[in-house]
Chain A
Amino acid sequence: EVQLVESGGGLVQPGGSLRLSCSASGFTFSTYSMHWVRQAPGKGLEWLSYISSGSSTIHYADSVKGRFTISRDNAKNSLYLQMNSLRDEDTAVYYCARDPAFTDAFDMWGQGTMVTVSS
């Protein structure tokens, strides 16, 4: 089955760190660029970060630049998001999403993992 499965979410105190993982299956992960997108409770969608298939190109939204780090391990079919210096406003569901080869979009999404930043 073609799918993305996120893990690693949870409750963390402000200033803390968390590492999210996204496990891919059913497709050739190493040939796709990937993204992280989040959604605060009751709010809209926010793009966070992009990584190319070979990790040569990486981009971040200003809201997370310098605090979050995207990475991938193609041998393990996995995408990661290291989140440091977490703030209350980082509370959200975090999704990993695949970028299709034929255009720029999010054509496959994981089920999401909830991150709650609270003391």
Chain B
Amino acid sequence: DIQMTQSPSSLSASVGDRVTITCQASQDIKNFLNWYQQKPGKAPKLLIYDASNLETGVPSRFSGSGSGTDFTFTISSLQPEDIATYYCQHYDHLPWTFGQGTKVEIK
């Protein structure tokens, strides 16, 4: 199975800060990577698909990049409503696996 490693596991930033999360795959997954946001007690929500495509209705402050084994997720200007845990997920082949999550908090 492909292992997905996210970094950091948690971070604290101020409103307006640029936030970056990285996700590394244990093998080449081309651009077969998605990013999700999960708020406490809620289901995950798809934000980015195919590594860099913004899901419809998702604010443009969210973005993704990368290919192969190294990927980046960015919030250009952190907002209070962005407090959540963020997960990467590959779909190169089954089983699809997720990163362990990055918890984002407001400083």
Name A's B-contacting residues (CB within 8 A): 44-47, 50, 59, 61-62, 95, 100, 103-107, 109-112
Contact with A45, one of B49, B87, B91 (Cβ below 8 angstroms): B87
Q: Is the beta-carbon distance between B46 and A105 smaller than 8 angstroms?
A: yes
Q: Is the beta-carbon distance between B95 and A110 smaller than 8 angstroms?
A: no
Question: How many chain B residues have a CB neighbour from A under 8 Å?
Answer: 24
**How far, in whole Å, are A61 and B44 apart by their CA atoms in the complex?**
20
Determine the main DSSP class of A at the interface with B.
loop
- Number of residue pairs spanning A and B whose beta carbons lie under 8 angstroms apart: 53
Q: Considering only CB atoms, which chain A residue lies closest to B53 in the complex?
A: A103
**How far, in whole Å, are A40 and B32 apart by their CA atoms in the complex?**
25
Nearest CB in chain B: distance from A50 CB, A: 7
**How far, in whole Å, are A80 and B43 apart by their CA atoms in the complex?**
18
Q: Is the beta-carbon distance between B34 and A46 smaller than 8 angstroms?
A: no
Segment at the A interface, from B19-27, B66-74, B75-83, B98-106: B98-106
Contact with A44, one of B42, B94, B98 (Cβ below 8 angstroms): B98
Q: Is the beta-carbon distance between B95 and A61 smaller than 8 angstroms?
A: yes
The residues of A that contact B49 with a CB separation of less than 8 Å are: 100, 103, 105, 107
The residues of A that contact B100 with a CB separation of less than 8 Å are: 44
